[in-house]
């Protein structure tokens, strides 16, 4: 029964996010799912079914890729009505999805180990080589410049400012990506993050060399 629900969920997510150009496509979702199940196994804790379901559905209702937050919530609610999960499990999955987003760096208290694992899995996919690629895909979709040194890095941001304020793809590293390693919850995720963090720092170092023409 659980395998059937997973397959149904995979099909739904593929149809909804399959070719999303902002870096929140099916391949991102599948990587987050694999990251989450890896962390679950390494940490030897959490309910694998809830973790896998929350990982698969974590972006479906995201306001970044829906007309509005309300439209995203309605889409997710409609899906849940088709699979008939027990109310307690559905509520747990919803609670994970609602609590793991970055939202400008505001600290959200995570109530369960499953939420901590899925959040870590999602954040791991936002850093490293894939994180770099996704940052520029998202910035391009939003119409942001690659870099403008006259723009200041934003420190404290409301959700509205984080979503809609003026920034660039390079600034996004300082406003979010480089902060994620220290916000991870599990030891397994922290180990994986080390190499990815170094990848981003090395990229930025090379970027500035080329930007300033110091590699000529």
**pTM of the entire structure?**
0.93
Residue 25, domain member (yes or no):
yes
Instruction: Give the CATH number for residue 129.
Output: 1.10.3210.50
- Cα–Cα distance between 98 and 214 in angstroms, integer? 45
pLDDT for 151: 94
How many distinct structural domains can be found in the chain? Answer: 1
- Cα–Cα distance between 154 and 166 in angstroms, integer? 9
pLDDT for 193: 98
pLDDT for 105: 59
Residue from 202, 156, 198, 169 nearest 181 by CA: 198
pLDDT tens, the chain, 216 aa long: 899 999 999 999 999 998 889 899 999 999 999 999 999 999 999 999 999 999 999 999 988 778 787 888 899 999 999 999 999 999 999 999 999 988 655 667 899 999 999 999 999 999 999 999 999 999 999 999 999 999 999 887 777 676 677 899 999 999 999 999 999 999 999 999 999 999 999 999 999 999 999 988
Q: Which domain holds residue 52?
A: 2-211
pLDDT for 216: 82
pLDDT for 101: 86
pLDDT for 130: 98
Residue 216, domain member (yes or no):
no
pLDDT for 119: 97
């Amino acid at each position: 029964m659980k395998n059937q629900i997973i397959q149904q969920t995979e099909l739904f997510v593929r149809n909804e996010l399959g070719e999303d150009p902002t870096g929140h496509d099916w391949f991102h979702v599948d990587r987050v799912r694999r990251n989450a199940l890896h962390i679950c196994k390494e940490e030897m804790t959490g309910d694998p079914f809830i973790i896998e379901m929350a990982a698969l559905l974590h972006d479906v209702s995201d306001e970044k890729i829906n007309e509005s937050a309300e439209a995203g919530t309605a889409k997710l609610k409609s899906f849940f009505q088709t699979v008939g999960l027990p109310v307690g499990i559905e509520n747990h999955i919803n609670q994970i999805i609602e609590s793991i987003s970055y939202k400008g760096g505001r600290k959200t208290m995570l109530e369960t180990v499953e939420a901590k694992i899925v959040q870590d899995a999602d954040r791991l996919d936002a850093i490293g080589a894939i994180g770099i690629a996704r940052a520029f895909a998202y910035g391009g979709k939003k119409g942001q410049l690659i870099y403008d040194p006259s723009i200041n890095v934003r420190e404290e941001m409301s959700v509205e400012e984080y979503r809609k304020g003026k920034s660039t793809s390079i600034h996004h590293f300082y406003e979010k990506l480089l902060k994620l390693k220290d916000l991870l919850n599990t030891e397994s995720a922290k180990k994986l993050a080390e190499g990815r963090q170094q990848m981003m720092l090395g990229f930025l170092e090379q970027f500035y060399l080329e930007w300033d023409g110091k590699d000529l």
